[in-house]
Amino acid sequence: MYNSERKRKGRNSVMWKNLAGIPPQPSNKECGYFIMRYMRDIIEDKDLSLFPVKWERRGSSHYTQADIDQMRNEWAKFVVKAYV
């Protein structure tokens, strides 16, 4: 049963937790491409033995506009190949 059905007030605001190791996102426009690039980097990493330590250090790195554009191009090629 939902809080509103029981006439209880829920949480006032969303509580976000910033995780160590995630490069900062430059703007809100590229968020999907940014996430896809980050997930691809994790998936392509062959050595996951020191995963938390290694990815925590990546927090100081940044994805450039060229990195985001590369992800955008890969996504567009996939969509064209799969659906056109």
Residue-level pLDDT, tens digit, the chain, 84 residues:
667 677 777 667 777 666 666 677 767 777 778 788 888 887 887 777 766 666 666 666 778 889 888 989 999 999 999 998
pTM of the predicted structure, to 2 decimals: 0.56
Structure tokens at 54: 């290694």
Residues 6+ apart with CB under 8 A from 26: 34, 62, 63
